[in-house]
Amino acid sequence: MAGARTRYPMLRRSRALWVSRRMWRPRLVFWSGAIAVGIISVAFARLADVAQEGFHAMLGDGAGWRGFLPLAVTPAGFVVCAWLAHVYFPNSQGSGIPQAIAARHLREDEDRDRLLSLRMVVGKIGLTLAGLLCGASISREGPTVQVGASVMLQAARWGGIGQAKGLILAGSAAGVAAAFNTPLAGIVFAIEEMGRTYQARTNGLVLTAVIFAGLASLGLSGNYIYFGFTNETVAITSQWPLILACGVVGGAFGALFSVLVLKATRRIRRWNSLQPLKRTLVVAAACGLGVAIIGIACGGLTFGTGYAQARGAIEGTPLPWYFFIAKLAAGVLSTVSGIPGGLFAPSLAVGAGLGSTLGLVFGGSAGIAALLGMAGYFAGVVQAPMTAFVIILEMTGNHDNVIALMCASMLGYGTARMISHEPLYHALSRLFIADAIRRRRAEQ
């Protein structure tokens, strides 16, 4: 044997080359998938801005008959999106984060494919853009998580990588990191919200995916801060009543949003089961009309993501006291309507509006109050306090307020847990898991 090794060095080199290719091919495919997530996320963000601007351009200044266009455009747009989602892109409805969570718990590839696939990528992006184009109170961040998980799962199959659960986690983290330009928030989101039980062997996957997706995003968009930089600092000793109020009240309203969405979603699913398509379209039309009426009554403030309103509040421009209530209602209707679309940015806008209102009551700075309100409300909605304060810190570029934001987030989380024991995304994910189980039993 030793002589054979000496006489045939070409065999050794070819074997080493084959082993090297077998080792590097999965890595290259994985890295390519992470970069693709970053590129898609940037393109999705820019198209979402164009779609939202298109809706507002259609309304003009809101004067005359154009101000009432949403009464026709928004319900019709909801119906079209709901029909396409039901017929051509099933399981694309809503945020997309529950679908990614559910896919991690499913064992069969066929069941995962119903929730995460390249077909889903096309449907999720296209229908979210269509929803923004007709004024829905949705955002792109949640859908980017489902898109990222779908891309990474497909890359795993092309590269022969068997760690499906870890790759779904990595794709989800990469989606959050690229969507907000918040790499730390992407990692924390994967640990706290997506994983709940985090395994050490997924560390490398998540970190690598976030790095490559982040590099792609930086290369295309540069190093930007999502909500712009703010240098205001919370004076904890004098502003503790404001911190307490934003945490507790924000958490209570965040829990209210979650409870309303869960109860409405479950009742709508039961009601739709008798005539799925027809009743799905009826619900979409009713929700679209509700969103249109709220938007017109508020002068157009509640249409779309709410990004501009939240950024304005952080920069010191107080929002009307009723904004957070109206935006919360529009968010509930958009979420339960059956159209694809996320709730990250709308939730942050609701929190900013709530904080702005509490700032007027307690006499605090509008920008500081908006930040604290965002932390309390968002932590109450998703019941993930670390994700809440880390994502807000990275989106505002100010790390001086870390203790205050941590307090508001933990107060929001604790308050929400007393009102609702079901984290929103995980409760919704169980609906998709239940659908997969029923389908499996029906096929047996």
Q: Does residue 75 register a pLDDT over 80? A: yes
Query: What is d(CA 128, CA 165) in angstroms, rounded to the nearest whole number?
Result: 25
- Displacement of CA 46 from its chain's centroid (Å): 16
Residue 1 pLDDT level (bands cut at 50, 70, 90): very low
Place of tokens 């209102």: 357
Nearest to 439 by CA among 100, 101, 145, 115: 115
| pLDDT, greater one: 108 or 222 | 108
With cut-offs at 50, 70 and 90, classify the pLDDT of residue 7. low
Taking residues 181-209, report their average pLDDT. Answer: 69
Q: Flag whether pLDDT at 368 surpasses 80.
A: yes
Average pLDDT of the residues in 88-104: 92
| Range list for CATH 1.10.3080.10 in the chain | 28-221, 236-434
pLDDT, residue 396, reads 81
Sign of CA dihedral 253, 322, 179, 85: positive
pLDDT band, residue 13 (cuts 50/70/90): low
Q: Are 327 and 302 in contact (CB under 8 A)?
A: yes
Q: Residue 4 — left, alpha, or beta (φ > 0 → left; ψ -120 to 50 → alpha)?
A: alpha
Report which of residues 231 and 75 the model is more confident about. Answer: 75
What pLDDT is attached to residue 195? 59
Distance CA 144, CA 95 (A): 9
Q: What is the pLDDT of residue 222?
A: 72
Q: What is the mean pLDDT of the chain?
A: 86
Cα–Cα dist 355/309, whole Å: 12
- The pLDDT value given to residue 17: 47
Q: What is the pLDDT of residue 366?
A: 83
pLDDT of residue 395: 82
The Cα–Cα gap between 247 and 250 comes to 5
Q: Of residues 429 and 365, which shows the higher confidence score?
A: 429
Please indicate whether residue 181 or residue 329 has the higher confidence score (pLDDT).
329
Instruction: Using the predicted structure, report yes or no on whether residue 209 has a pLDDT greater than 90.
Output: no
User: How many CB atoms are closer than 10 A to CB 295?
Assistant: 27
pLDDT at 367 (0 to 100)? 86
Q: What is the pLDDT of residues 128-144, one digit of tens each?
A: 999 999 999 999 988 99
* Higher per-residue confidence, 289 vs 188: 289
Closest-CA residue to 311 (of 228, 406, 201):
228
Residue 4 above 50 pLDDT? no
- The whole-angstrom separation of Cα 401 and Cα 230 is 10
Looking at per-residue pLDDT, the higher value among 101 and 394 belongs to 101
Q: Which CATH homologous superfamily contains domain 236-434?
A: Clc chloride channel (1.10.3080.10)
Higher per-residue confidence, 16 vs 165? 165
Report whether 354 contacts 250 (CB < 8 A): yes
Answer yes or no: is pLDDT of 127 > 90: yes
Among 165-174, 230-239, 424-433, the least confident range: 230-239
CB contact at 8 A, 341 and 355? no
HEC sequence for the chain: CHHHHHHCHHHHHHHHHHHHHHHHHHHHHHHHHHHHHHHHHHHHHHHHHHHHHHHHHHHCCCCHHHHHCHHHHHHHHHHHHHHHHHHCCCCCCECCHHHHHHHHHCCCHHHHHHHCCHHHHHHHHHHHHHHHHCCCCCECHHHHHHHHHHHHHHHHHHHCCCCHHHHHHHHHHHHHHHHHCCHHHHHHHHHHHHHCCCCHHHHHHHHHHHHHHHHHHHHHHCCCCCCCCCCCCCCHHHHHHHHHHHHHHHHHHHHHHHHHHHHHHHHHHHHHCCCHHHHHHHHHHHHHHHHHHHHHHCCCCCCCCCHHHHHHHHCCCCCCCCHHHHHHHHHHHHHHCCCECECHHHHHHHHHHHHHHHHHHHCCCHHHHHHHHHHHHHHHHHCCHHHHHHHHHHHHCCCCCHHHHHHHHHHHHHHHHHHCCCCHHHHHHHHHHHHHHHHHHHHC
Q: Identify the burial level of 39 via C-beta atoms within 10 angstroms of its C-beta, where 0-12 means exposed, 13-18 middle and 19 or more buried.
A: middle
Say which CATH class 28-221 falls into: mainly alpha
Q: What is the pLDDT of residue 5?
A: 47
> Residue 177 pLDDT more than 90?
no
Output the pTM of the full model: 0.89
C-beta of residue 142 within 8 angstroms of C-beta of residue 341: yes
Measured CA to CA in angstroms, residue 206 lies from 197, 259, 372 at distances of 14, 31, 29
Give the span between the Cα atoms of 340 and 85, in whole angstroms: 7
Asked whether the beta carbons of 416 and 262 are under 8 A apart, the reply is no
Which residues, listed in sequence order, are joined to residue 436 by a DSSP beta bridge?
none
Mean pLDDT of 412-430: 92
Q: Determine the pLDDT at residue 421.
A: 84
Residue 169 CA to residue 166 CA, distance in Å, equals 5
Lowest mean pLDDT among 210-219, 318-327, 375-384: 210-219
pLDDT value for 2 = 47
pLDDT above 70 for 10: no
What pLDDT, on a 0 to 100 scale, did the predictor assign at position 205?
72
Number of residues that make up the chain = 444
Question: What's the pLDDT score for residue 196?
Answer: 56
Percent of the chain scored above 90 by pLDDT? 50
pLDDT category at 235 given cuts 50, 70, 90 is confident
